[in-house]
Structure formats: C-alpha cells, structure tokens
A = this chain, B = another copy of it.
Amino acid sequence: MSEYIAPCDCRRAFISGFDGSAGTAIITEQKAAMWTDGRYFLQAAQQMDSNWTLMKMGLKDMPTQEDWLVSVLPEGSKVGVDPFIIPADQWKRMSKALKSAGHVLVPVKENLIDAIWMDRPQRPCKPLMTLDLSYTGVGWKEKIAALRAKMVERKVLWLVVTALDEVSWLFNLRGSDVEYNPVFFAYAVIGTDTIRLFISGDRMADPSTREHLLLDSALEAEFKIQVVPYESVLTELQAICVGLSPKEKVWLSDKASYALTEAIPKAHRYLTPYTPICIAKAVKNTAETEGMRRAHIKDAVALCELFNWLEKEVPKGSVTEISAADKAEEFRSQQNGFVDLSFATISSTGPNGAIIHYKPVPETNRALSGNEIYLLDSGAQYKDGTTDVTRTMHFGTPSAYEKECFTYVLKGHIAVSAAIFPNGTKGHLLDSFARSALWDCGLDYLHGTGHGVGCFLNVHEGPCGISYKTFADEPLEAGMIVSDEPGYYEDESFGIRIENVVLVIPAKTKYNFSNRGSLTFEPLTLVPIQTKMISIPLLTQKEVREVVDGGEQTHSKGPKDPSLVALPSF
C-alpha cells in the first residue's frame, strides 16, 4: 500500500506481466481482468497476454470492479483478497456491493500469488541508517512523548503506526528497503507506557542502531523499546485488544489495511484520516529546514553542471532522454550526502513531454535536439533532505507559442509562490492561482499544483498539498514544505512544467488578518529557469519585480525566488 514497493510485493506484475505503478487484477475461475487508468492503457495492453481483459478506468460505461464481479460470478460466490493489501474503506465498499448481490468478500490469510510464485524475491531487509539531532532537530524520545500527549488529548490508549515513513520519522531511522523512499519495513505500536517496534531480521544487532534506540541502556520504562518480529504485528495487536476495557481506544489511520483495522474491535477503533505523526512530520523544524536548504544547494549545483553539459553535448546529437537522466544522477551522486534519487527521473523531449508520468525506456527513448522542448523532473535523497525540481528548456530557438505557454506556466508558478494567505488556509484554495494566467487564454493542466515533500523521506507526503482534487487536506502552516508545479501539456507535441519546492513561512502583511497570522512561501529550489523560454511582455510589472527582487516593494519579505534572481545567467 506504499507508493513505491519492493520486488517481492510486485504480485500483480508477476501474475499479469503488467508492471505499471497503478492497477488491480481480479481473477475468477474463468476470467482475468485488469483495472488501470489512462496513463497505462497502452502499456498494460502490450504487457498482458490474451487471457487478460483490460478495464480502462475513466472510460464511459467501463464497469467498476464490484459491478464486473457481480456480472460474472455464479450465484453465492466467495471473493478472496489478502487483507494486508486492501485499505479498510475499499474493503467495506466492495464487501457491501458483493453482499447486496448475494456474494461474500473473504480475507485470505495465505496470499495465493505467493503460493504459486516459486522464485519470489525475499522481502528486503537492508541495514538501517541512524539520524542524529543535527539532522532531525528532535530526538525520538521527545517525539514519543509529544505523541503520547496527543494520545492523552484524544483519550486513546494505543496508536498503531503503519505508514513506513511515519515509523522512520518517529525513530529517526532511515532504510533502503524500497526504491526512492528511504524507509524500511516496520510497524510500531505505541502505548501510554510501552513502545513496540515490529521489524524483521537482525537489523537490531547493529551496534549504532542499538545505541541510537538505547536498547542496552538503563532507561525509563516508558521509553524502553520492545523489538518484535515484523510478522507478529497482527497477533500482538489482537492480544492488546483482548485486554482493553470498554471505552479504551486504539488510534489508527483510516488508510490502514483491512487486516489491522479489523484486528481492532469496532468499539475500540479510533480512526482519523491522518495520524498525529503524519501532521507533526509535515511541519519541519529548524534542523530539518536547514537540511532541506543544504540539499537544495547541492541539487542546484548538480543540475547546473548538468545544464552546462547538456548545452555542450546536445548540439552533437548524442544525448538521449535516458543518457541525460543518467548524467543528472551522476552529477547528483557526486554531491556529499547523496543517498538515492527521490523518484524515477522524468526525462522527456518533444511529444514525450506531454506524457505527465513519462519515464524513458529504450523503446521510447528520444534524442535531445535543438528543435524540441526538453522537460526534466527529477530529485534526490540526500542525508540532509529531499529534492524535487522540474525545469523545461530549449536548446535551439523556442517557437512563439512555446514561449507563450511557458510564460503562462511561469506566471502561475509565481502566483502561487508569491501568494499571501491567512494562517489556517488549506492548500487546495491556492490551486486556481496557478491556473489563472493559463485559463485566461483557454489553457489548463489536469494535475494538481503541489504535494507535500518529506525531509530525507518520501518525496510525496501528506497531509498538505495544493490541488483542486483534494478537500480534506490539512491547513498549511509555517514549516510545511510543498511543491509548486503548474504545467501545460500539448498532446503529441510538448510538455512544460516549472517546479520548485517551497517552504511555508510567516509573511508580513499590513493588517495581519487581525492577528490570525499571514503566510507565504519561500522557494528552497535554487535551480535557474531558462530565460529564453520567457516572453517578457507577457509578465506584469509586479511579476517582474517578484522575479527580480522578491517582491520587496509589495511586501517586506526576503528575496523571493533565488532561482529567478539567477535568471540572466542561464
């Protein structure tokens, strides 16, 4: 249920051949069907054989999984699912639909794919990395204490931590069990005076980890960590629940698996969309924001080196989307504290740029040239922090239309970056600011404008963001970090996106919302934006000021967007 998964969890790819990042396979005695979205219609059709029916989600009259099951199942069927890989709310919906048609959804304890997957890879169990206070700002004992204060406030006795990045953040540990996300397979269950960490292998044998977690120290009992095998989380949770008195509650995210949710009797469940860890993790402290700043300096150095290299090499005709992405990784990996990329690099030129989640593969790999726009959306994990930046550039002469579109996107990017808003504002309310200049000319883009960004953690994290698609996001507050990435995509022609990672900071305003407080953004990204793509006459005086001096004249903040201050140099 994570965004990035380990090879041992790629069960759908094993059974169907289709390895896109989104898809659900349903297999009956006679049929096999695959639901996926528009990004993957082509790829899924190519990768799957004729045994499979492709269900193109979003197309009109395409049956839902529930409707399809009801239409093909013989009367009184049982539908099985691994309860650890289905969220509780999805279970509930599907179970209800099947029940009303006379069928039943049942949890299958042994995963049936695993039963036939002979060469299934081992679950990764890579060494852990400990982060000291200079990176985290707050020790894990302090985090646990603050968490327990929240538990007391909500009158819950236990909290189950299921999201991998939440476990990593809570204990100031990092791992490399999956690609791109520096996390490790684990659960945690926090009681009012106990801490259970569910983790596999002999990772706790490492002396620095033992020391970090104070496993061998004399310690107040309530901070003593019990290390428990990963696989026993369900039975331990069940045992905890057996001991509960009436009205005693267990806190769990409503996005947790059916297996864990169901282990807690309904009367004892306390479900919220976001755990207190998720919310605390989103608000970065000084050590974390300073780390993010260091990471973004390194990242900008690497990308400046790349751009310099591209300007020299592209005219020779030897650079492709894949080699440019590799070179970006090479320059980044030379930076101090580099750990990994933060996601699969989107390196796309010409028509490939219009595929929003494009990842170059040999079959689609295209040479960069002086005739096409090049879009690079990439980022890295440094021990200090996480980066995610998109720049769009041209190595020849962009057309007037390309410059026009780019400038509208830039105007939207500036509008969000320069936005001032009251404390307590939810990010989705800022989404239209990014679109206004595009809308005025009848252009739009069909993705959100920003996502939360972790600090040496997941590049996509909740609970905040800037997207018209969401509503239940948490309000933005100073210390949160999100991306600002409007775009424009012309099908079969080009893609444009300008993305900075920005930090929510207090703003100085004339009237300060009756002391409610004012917020704005400060860009952390320092990578230059290519000036030749800008149609200067389309910028307002205010936008030019915002670009050049950080809007000093309209409100008294520091320089607004250092990447734009650096504009003339690229």
Contact with B along A41-63 (1 / 0, CB 8 A): 00000000000000000000000
Choice from B419, B422, B441 contacting A444 with Cβ under 8 Å? B422
**In the complex, what's the smallest C-beta–C-beta distance from A430 to chain B, in angstroms?**
7
A242 at the binding interface (Cβ < 8 Å): no
Contact with B along A419-452 (1 / 0, CB 8 A): 1111000100111110110011111100000000
Q: How far is the CA of A472 from the CA of B426 in the complex (A)?
A: 16
**In the complex, what's the smallest C-beta–C-beta distance from A67 to chain B, in angstroms?**
12
* Stretch touching chain B among A136-144, A277-285, A368-376, A507-515: A507-515
Contact at A436–B433, with CB atoms within 8 Å? yes
Contact at B441–A509, with CB atoms within 8 Å? yes
Contact with B along A489-517 (1 / 0, CB 8 A): 00000000000000000000111110010
A555 at the binding interface (Cβ < 8 Å): yes
A100 at the binding interface (Cβ < 8 Å): yes
A554 at the binding interface (Cβ < 8 Å): yes
Q: How far is the CA of A511 from the CA of B426 in the complex (A)?
A: 30
Chain B residues within 8 Å of A441, by CB: 509-511
A267 at the binding interface (Cβ < 8 Å): yes
Chain B residues within 8 Å of A429, by CB: 431-432, 468
Q: How far is the CA of A509 from the CA of B438 in the complex (A)?
A: 10
Contact at B267–A442, with CB atoms within 8 Å? no
Contact at B442–A100, with CB atoms within 8 Å? no
**Copies of this chain per assembly:** 2
Contact at B267–A443, with CB atoms within 8 Å? no
Contact at B439–A420, with CB atoms within 8 Å? yes
A518 at the binding interface (Cβ < 8 Å): yes
Contact with B along A258-277 (1 / 0, CB 8 A): 00000000010000000000
A4 at the binding interface (Cβ < 8 Å): no
Contact at B513–A444, with CB atoms within 8 Å? yes
A309 at the binding interface (Cβ < 8 Å): no
Q: How far is the CA of A426 from the CA of B470 in the complex (A)?
A: 12
**In the complex, what's the smallest C-beta–C-beta distance from A229 to chain B, in angstroms?**
35
Q: How far is the CA of A217 from the CA of B443 in the complex (A)?
A: 54
Chain B residues within 8 Å of A422, by CB: 439, 442, 444
Choice from B426, B513, B554 contacting A443 with Cβ under 8 Å? B513
Choice from B443, B510, B554 contacting A511 with Cβ under 8 Å? B443
Q: What would 9 more interface pairs be, CB under 8 Å, given A420-B439, A441-B509, A442-B509?
A: A419-B436, A422-B444, A429-B431, A439-B509, A439-B518, A440-B509, A442-B512, A444-B513, A444-B516
Residues on A lying within 8 angstroms of B by beta carbon are 100, 267, 419-422, 426, 429-433, 435-436, 439-444, 468, 471, 509-513, 516, 518, 554-555
8 A-B pairs with CB atoms under 8 Å apart are A419-B439, A429-B432, A442-B509, A442-B513, A443-B511, A444-B513, A444-B516, A471-B471
Sort A-B residue pairs by CB-CB distance and give the 10 closest, nearest first: A442-B509, A442-B511, A471-B471, A442-B512, A441-B510, A429-B432, A442-B513, A420-B439, A421-B439, A422-B444
